[in-house]
Amino acid sequence: MLPKGIKDAYRLYADGFRQMSVGRTLWKVVAIKLFVLFALIWPLLHTGPKTPEAKEALAHSKLLGR
């Protein structure tokens, strides 16, 4: 069984989230922003060479300026 302090902390947060009105909307906005960041933008920023040979060729061309 969980210690009394952990149960009390859980109840405190659970009651707080249950009674929120504006906070729920804000948490939804935060969740949507995180989804957009990781699901949509992340793949666009991380489109580089996938194989070690391609990475080596890219580094070689960048270092030699060709």
**DSSP assignment of 46-63:** -----SHHHHHHHHHHHH
Mean of the per-residue pLDDT values for the chain? 86
Largest CA distance in the chain: 67
Q: Measure the CA–CA gap between 2 and 18, rounded to whole angstroms.
A: 22
Examine the pLDDT at 57 and tell me if it is beyond 80.
yes
Question: pTM surpassing 0.75?
Answer: no
Average pLDDT of the segment spanning 54-61? 88
| Higher pLDDT among residues 24 and 36, named by residue | 36
